[in-house]
A and B are shown apart, each in its own frame.
Chain A
């Protein structure tokens, strides 16, 4: 923070310091006024009633709604992280294959899944699982939304990870590949034993921040009827007419978990940077990341 600030600003003198103090006070007042206005309006709508908040925060709410919901959110996201990694590694390798047609095929698959919105993917997969797969008896129809969420998150994030693998390998210093060639490794050996392991180490923080993306996107499951945290909070809110309160609690849970993960990712990046020739800075992407390689 400090260093960037000084790119644009000189160190403040006494007069500037006074101005800064005044601006601080003004900003504080503005924020306070907004908060108070919102609270007044909420109070008028009776949304601050203690029983509404109590019902959104009591033991029943946690034991029967938030925690089971959170369990499914984390479970679906956790599985999707693992499967997306497998998907990403396979397609990342294929995109580096020496044989052209394989590379192009992998490229088309990856670009397709990165360009299609996750929600569109999930809607389709939900119908696919409930109308086509469930009647065969392979999965329970009640699980269609669950599998829709997992597969939807897998293919999208897998495609993003495939790009991470590819760009991770490409961003390694050329010397790594040359050194591998010098000790007599084949192209394949060099990729498998030298380049990809380093690219993976460099990728770990990005994978962790991809986990944040997956957790956030799992909330889209709400729109296909997957019983995750958001859906459970809605259900709790329908019973006690405090849906606003329960959704605020759900949002806070999401924020805390993702905040911790984001923080871990940046810690990890610092620790790992000595172990690879690649760049460990986590790629912080929006829910749905880039559609084309980022340099």
Chain B
């Protein structure tokens, strides 16, 4: 009797161990990267790039296929300039909350995931770029002519995601009478926008354009095109990384060659969205200095 219980316990314990060995990060898909991998950046054979998996138009992975989107295209170009073939890239999902940790923990070599350069983040991680300058904007229904900017939102319903400061900013600075709903993701917001329960969705313009450009949403929504903040999307790298200058050079080259423009157009087609010219050529687009 006693032996039986011990063997059952042993079996249970070994089963638990075996199962916990295959945590989400060690299998493909759930997101994350292998820790302590032998390859390091530069000299190794593969490069681990953190992107979003659920942001259509920027970083989106359909099924088990290759990810697509503007972030992905820029990442591929930069990786190519750094000497990696496309097949050498290992894509790793880095949700917003995990980005600093993933870099600090050495789980990824670079991050291209709508990663705004801020002073607070720069204390923990390094940045190259920016490769794009976005601004907070509004997504509205195609036939909407009333909402032309954040000031027009008084008495309207606005959707944003939980934990984002963008919706609160509108309430505080532009339209006090706006009705806010916070949801788990932008996909929910877009569903509400389509059904008419909300009148606008707010976040960075290029994210909105990416959402509106999916085949299912094509022709239904438009980006207002009146950006009222500045978000400089940088390439996240480990603090003190020596790759910063090489990444900056690659971004400059991509813009000069026209590949940047091409990637942008391809990923935001049919949404009437054009990136803010003044922002993307102005002082905000100036590359960070790589002197660490």
Contact = CB atoms under 8 A, between A and B. Distances in A.
B216 A241 contact: yes
Contacts of B214: 239-241
| Secondary structure of the A contact surface, majority rule | helix
Task: Pick the most buried of A78, A141, A225, A241: most chain B CB atoms within 10 A of its CB.
Answer: A141
Given A79-B16, A234-B185, A238-B186, A140 B54 contact: no
- Interface residues of B toward A: which range? 35 or more
Interface in B42-86: 53-54, 56, 60, 62-64
B14 to A, nearest CB: 10
B54 A238 contact: yes
Interface stretch (B23-31, B144-152, B174-182, B269-277): B23-31
Contact of B105 (A45, A60, A135, A244): A135
A53 interface: no
Contacts of B3: none
Nearest to A223: B184
Contacts of A243: 187-188, 191
Contacts of A137: 35-36, 105-106
Contacts of A242: 216
A189 B91 CA distance: 56
B97 A130 contact: yes
Given A72-B24, A82-B12, A238-B187, A142 B64 contact: no
Contacts of A187: none
A88 interface: no
Given A193-B2, A227-B31, A241-B216, A45 B195 contact: yes
Interface string A32-72: 00000000000001000000000000001001110010001
Task: Pick the most buried of A63, A83, A193, A240: most chain B CB atoms within 10 A of its CB.
Answer: A240
Given A140-B32, A238-B187, A239-B214, A193 B97 contact: no
A238 B185 contact: yes
B63 A60 contact: yes
B32 A234 contact: no
A284 B62 CA distance: 39
B20 interface: yes
Contact of A141 (B13, B29, B102, B186): B102
B24 A78 contact: no
Contact of A64 (B56, B63, B93, B98): B63
B130 to A, nearest CB: 24
A45 B263 CA distance: 34
Interface in B95-135: 95, 97-98, 101-102, 104-107
Nearest to A63: B63
5 contacts: A68-B30, A78-B15, A134-B101, A137-B35, A140-B35
Interface of B: 1-2, 5, 9, 12-13, 15-16, 19-20, 22-26, 29-36, 53-54, 56, 60, 62-64, 92-95, 97-98, 101-102, 104-107, 184-188, 190-191, 194-195, 214, 216-217
Interface of A: 45, 60, 63-65, 68, 72, 75, 78-79, 82-83, 85-86, 130-131, 134-135, 137, 139-144, 146-147, 150, 192-193, 197, 222-223, 225-227, 234-235, 237-244
